[in-house]
Each structure stands twice: as C-alpha cells, then as structure tokens.
Amino acid sequence: MKIKDMYVILNKDNTIKKHYITTFGQASCNLNGCICLDNLIGTLRGLIKKHREIEKNIDVLLEKWEKYETNQKETLGNIITLKPYKKSYYSEKYKEDSKIENNLYISYYNTIHAILTDDEICTIQKQIEYNFMSDNFINKMIELLESK
C-alpha cells in the first residue's frame, strides 16, 4: 500500500494513536479524526528543514557572539567597569533559537515514535548510520511502511 492511501487516527486529545496505521475507510469511522500519512510525512520534512535553518542561524549567531566578545575584551582591556551586567543580545537570541530547535526536535521525535515502534526506528537508524532527523530517515521510513 502507498503512503497516500495510509492514515493515522487521532485520540481524543488530538494526539496520534501510536503504531496504528489504517486505510481511509477505517480511519473515517474515528470520531476524533484522522490524518493522511503522506501529509504527516510532509510535515516531518518541514520540521527537518526548519531545524536545519535554526541550526545554521545558531552557528552564525555563535560566530558573531564570539567576535563581539573578542572585540569587547580588546576594547576594554584591563579596565574594570562598575556598570551592572547587562544581558547581551546574543545570549538572549541563543536561548530563543535553542528553545525553538529543541521544540522542533521534540515534535519530530514524538511523531516518529507515534508512527513506528522502537525496533523499527533502531533498524532504520542502523541502516542510515544513526542520522535520525534527516530526509534519509524519512525515505527509509516510507520504504518500511509501504512494504508492510
């Protein structure tokens, strides 16, 4: 069966019923709703893309932060200032981006674990050299689901 023909159903709290993939006919009987697996995979790919963007933003931010700190040290030299410590833009932005990155990963992780069992995840991980949050993982997941 193709991914476009597979559906996952939702529980009362709008979470995915774990490890339960069915056809539209069966899924439509669920009063809580259902999601086409193809759409869910599109969402997972979007999470991967956004996660990569945030990782790049953090890398650039860390470079700029390091340059700023180096510049500050060179400018101030050994001068001791009595001004109260002011949180830097960089530390606040880093916290924000790290939180977003963490939330994206948690969403991805929870969705994958709702679709696949731990054994299936481990099997795929071994095949792709443990690159969990990747398009390669998604492709292997699709192969596995379509072969069932």
pLDDT at 26: 81
pLDDT for 81 beyond 60? no
What is the rounded CA–CA span in Å between residue 14 and residue 11?
5
- Band the pLDDT of 148: cuts 50, 70, 90: confident
pLDDT at 87: 60
User: Residue 100 contacts by C-beta under 8 Å, 6 or more apart in sequence?
Assistant: 54
Number of neighbours of residue 120 by Cβ within 10 angstroms: 18
> Residue 40 is encoded by which pair of tokens?
């869910």
| 3-class DSSP state of 18 | strand
Mean pLDDT of 9-20: 89
pLDDT for 82 beyond 70? no
User: Residue 92 contacts by C-beta under 8 Å, 6 or more apart in sequence?
Assistant: none
pLDDT at 74: 63
- The string of pLDDT tens digits covering residues 106-134 is 999 999 999 999 999 999 999 999 999 99
What is the rounded CA–CA span in Å between residue 34 and residue 14?
9
Phi/psi at 39 (5° precision): -65, -40
- Residues forming a β-bridge with 9: 34
- Position with higher pLDDT, 31 vs 45: 45
DSSP states of 50-113: HHHHHHHHHHHHHHHHHHHHHHHHHHHTT----SPP---HHHHHHHHHHHHHHHHHHHHHHHHH
